[in-house]
Chains A and B, each alone.
Chain A
Amino acid sequence: MILPAPGPAESWGRVVRASSRRLAPQFRDEVARGLAAARDAGVSTLGVGLGRSYGDSGLNSDQAVIDARHLDRLISFDPDAGVLRAEAGASLGALAQVLAPRGFFLPTVPGTRFVTLGGAVANDVHGKNHERAGTFGANVRRIGLRRSDGVVEIAPGDDLFAATIGGLGLTGFIEWVEIGVTRIPSTLIDQETIPFDDLDAFFAIAAESKARFEHTVAWVDCTQGGKSIGRGVFTRGVWAPDGGFAPHTDRALPVPIEAPSFALNPLTLKAFNVAYDAAQRLKAGTARVHYTGHFWPLDSLFGWNKLYGPKGFYQYQCVLPWATGRDGVAEMLRRIARSGEGSFLAVLKTFGDRPSPGMLSFPMPGTTLALDFRNRGAATMKLLAALDDIVREAGGRLYPAKDGRMPAAMFRAGYPALDRFATFVDPAFSSDFWRRITA
């Protein structure tokens, strides 16, 4: 197997653009040969999935990447035990299409279905039901990991397993993943939409939702300062007791061309937030919806990331512990409102107490806030640095899947197991993120 010439690569935020030598094996037996080819060419390798990470953790500039997307076969499915084993390139959406008609679903899903099993493990992703299900990794039973010195099978209890969950692809190439899947009573969700006026109201609804609603999330209007800070809309859902088992289809509206950079600016942003707020408030109440609209509202607009124009955008997701969460979030929102930069999709969620299995897992008990900012160079950097200070002060941390810029010290402060993790990194693997953070 020969390593192809470098070709363009970009991550979801499109700020960091790289060039790498991409192998896209069709069968698992090609992975070892791909690794050998990279070694012979004197470059490191990184396993990658569907490129839905925003920053540089899924990039390996001027080196090799092994793209897992064609390794998407099911290996076994045992409906009695509720256990599914599949190759790491299978997307969560494709798995949902196989599981749903049989009355099963993935234990938890992130906000897009275009995520591979390998990517879900390597970032130990979370969904709207973190309180119940824990992270994705908390539901993983076994992993087949290709290291530079051979294949290993790892399971909960193994140190290498704890390093690989949330391990950012640095411990080796994940060939397959075995997970526990959940029975569902239908593929519909009984969804409630509740507007709230401030952060205290958000926390009150979140607490009150715990017992009855598996899935919770809130959108906050970042353009509001002063008294209206933390105004937003809470969405909560629970699997409907009946309604059949129709899976989702793959129709989406493409965003085919790159929007000019003025498409999303403070004016359109303000207008969007006002309109969105009004629309959600109108919807307030109860509805029975298909899971796809509940879990993956953005997926109906394929390639929406291009709306931010050629300079791309930054995502910023932090988690703050319970004790500091309310005040920390309020301070961040105030700081953002003052900057006038806003954020289209500010998402506020709570994480439950189920411990995350990975050494570098992002979720911890508390409140998580996710924001996006169009890339305006130094001004954006200054705002994000100010937010960093608030997060650090509050004892929180940032999510590497969404990051393309946090300073090494910020990462180290948030992830005390970093040094221990580093001992499990396979010497043949690396990424732009890892080189930046360990530089």
Chain B
Amino acid sequence: MTTPVALSPRRVVVLGAASAIAEATCRVLAAQGASFALLGRDAARLDAIAADLSARGAAKAVAVAKDLADARDAEAVLAACARDIGPIDTVMIFYGVLGDQAQAEADLAEAARLLQVNFTSAALWALAAAPHVEQAGARGVILAVSSVAGDRGRRSNFIYGAAKGGLALIMQGLAHKFGAKPGGPRAVALKLGFVDTPMTAHVKKGGPLWATPAGVAPVIARALERGGPMVYAPWFWRFVMLAIRVTPQAIFNRVNL
């Protein structure tokens, strides 16, 4: 309906497939007949998602239980995925943890964990995915979910924000590398605003800034086809963040964000 049907269905590796936003996005792709390797920590939950995607039209959906913060075997895991679902043309990195800024400042081990999950491991998965999508040529795409929190360091969440901002730079760099020759794959950093998911369950919601997983899913599916390397979803965040980025530090210091 709102998303164009891809020429041929994608073969997708989803890192963090149990994320609410990942699942909503996969539903859009399943309706187009995509094949999935679904990675995450909880096997039973991944199985439930795989069954759902299959019933919605996915050609294939396999569940792979794995703690993604550990990316040491990323190459082997992706190779196994390619054996399961065929040559991979799409890799989406969805997993992440919001954490608590104050706690992470007080406890460096927690800060290290936030950086390991949200940046270091995600960057390594993206690097390991690059040769796969390069094989796929212009169809190939790596999409990583970044955040508007990565656009400017703010006292309320700059450890998470730095990790997400760093991840966006990795994607931008990959896009530049892929773009060196015509016909190459794409890399996209998806900068999400506020989305109503389990990650934000504790936050008081309401108002026009909040989106739903089903609302941003078509935007993400479209970002697999074109645009980038930095895509804001919903779109208005591009302008919100522009305003936030250009605010002089002296004024910014007085804003509690």
Contact = CB atoms under 8 A, between A and B. Distances in A.
B84 interface: no
Contact of A76 (B20, B55, B201): B55
Nearest to B202: A4
Contacts of A76: 51, 55
B20 A70 contact: yes
Interface in B38-74: 42, 44-45, 48-49, 51-52, 55-56
B45 A77 contact: no
A29 B41 CA distance: 14
A74 B20 contact: no
A247 B2 CA distance: 12
Q: How large is the interface on B (under 10, 10 to 19, 20 to 34, 35 or more residues)?
A: 10 to 19
Contacts of B51: 73-76
A26 interface: yes
Interface string A74-108: 11110000000000000000000010000000000
Contact of A249 (B1, B42, B55): B1
Contacts of B2: 249
Contact of B56 (A27, A28, A74, A247): A74
Nearest to A77: B55
A330 to B, nearest CB: 46
A247 B52 CA distance: 19
Interface in B61-98: none
B198 A73 contact: no
Q: Is the interface of B mostly helix, strand, loop or mixed?
A: helix
Given A26-B20, A74-B51, A76-B51, A98 B45 contact: no
Contacts of A74: 51-52, 55-56
A27 B55 contact: no
B52 A27 contact: no
Contacts of B52: 73-75
A249 B20 CA distance: 21
A27 B45 contact: yes
A264 B51 CA distance: 47
A75 B55 CA distance: 7
Given A70-B20, A76-B55, A98-B55, A28 B48 contact: yes
A70 B198 CA distance: 10
Nearest to A249: B1
A247 B48 CA distance: 25
Given A70-B20, A98-B56, A26 B48 contact: no
Given A24-B201, A74-B51, 6 more contacts: A26-B20, A28-B48, A74-B55, A74-B56, A75-B48, A77-B55
23 contacts: A24-B201, A26-B20, A27-B18, A27-B48, A28-B48, A29-B44, A29-B45, A70-B20, A73-B49, A73-B51, A73-B52, A74-B52, A74-B55, A74-B56, A75-B48, A75-B51, A75-B52, A75-B55, A76-B55, A77-B55, A98-B55, A98-B56, A249-B1
